[in-house]
């Protein structure tokens, strides 16, 4: 089988742009066998420079003939930090969500204003599709961020991930077993792949 070997030399094609206008990206592709000499840079027309956002020093192999779908799939696989199932524009929408922090308090935007929340009052975080629900001892809030992004932004050690869809505040933990954890009157699953990290927060005497 022949391959087209493309070297993206200092240029990056955002997956969102490829999804919206693959036919407008003008490239010069040279077909070479798999064991060919060093690949030539991907040529991008000046009109497409506006969609170049990040640097990708990555080589991508595509089976010939090259199709728009194949090009999108290869670039999506090479883009760091992007999930294959992430919808176009999701990362951009998430970046607009703001969490303000002051000491042990955070401010979340709710109904067009920022509301203060004490970190210790957070009981758990629950992933819900493209949002994360913040369950507190009082009102609940929704953030347009992934669970991973919320945990990184809060940077609050007592908040521990126990499942792909849940993170809990250890200060509110009442009981737990091999398969689930209970916080007051709420029970969440305890995933096997998160159990070891969860148990590392406890001291054995």
DSSP string, 55-105: ---EEEEEESSP-HHHHHHHHHHHSTT--TTPPTTHHHHHHT--EEEETTE
For residue 73, what pLDDT is reported? 60
Number of domains in the chain: 2
Residue 18 counted as domain residue: yes
Which of 60, 81, 102 lies at the terminal end of a domain, its last residue? 81
99 & 195 share domain: yes
Domain containing residue 131: CATH number: 2.40.50.1020
For residue 87, what pLDDT is reported? 47
45 & 69 share domain: yes
DSSP string, 12-60: ---HHHHHH-GGG------EE-TT-SSPPBPP--GGGGGG--S---EEE
Which of 81, 104, 132 lies at the terminal end of a domain, its last residue? 81
Measure the CA–CA gap between 70 and 29, rounded to whole angstroms: 14
pLDDT tens for 174-192 read: 999 999 999 998 999 999 9
* Statement: residue 58 has pLDDT above 50: no
pLDDT tens for 101-110 read: 999 999 999 8
Range of the domain at 136: 94-199
Which of 35, 50, 81 lies at the terminal end of a domain, its last residue? 81
């Amino acid at each position: 089988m022949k391959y087209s070997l493309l070297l993206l030399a200092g240029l990056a094609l955002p997956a969102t742009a490829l999804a919206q206008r693959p036919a407008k990206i003008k490239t010069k592709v040279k077909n070479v066998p798999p064991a060919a000499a060093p690949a030539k840079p991907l040529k991008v027309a000046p009109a497409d420079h506006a969609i170049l956002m990040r640097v990708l020093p990555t080589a991508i192999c595509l089976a010939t003939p090259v199709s728009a779908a194949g090009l999108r799939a290869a670039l999506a696989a090479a883009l760091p930090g992007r999930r294959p199932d992430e919808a176009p524009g999701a990362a951009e929408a998430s970046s607009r969500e703001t969490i303000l922090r002051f000491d042990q308090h955070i401010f979340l935007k709710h109904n067009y204003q920022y509301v203060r929340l004490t970190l210790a009052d957070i009981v758990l975080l629950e992933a819900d599709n493209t949002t994360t629900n913040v369950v507190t001892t009082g009102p609940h809030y929704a953030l347009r961020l992934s669970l991973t992004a919320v945990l990184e932004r809060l940077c609050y050690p007592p908040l521990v991930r126990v499942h792909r869809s849940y993170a809990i505040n250890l200060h509110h933990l009442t009981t737990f077993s091999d398969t689930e954890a209970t916080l007051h009157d709420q029970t969440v699953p305890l995933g096997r792949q998160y159990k070891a990290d969860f148990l590392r927060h406890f001291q054995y005497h």
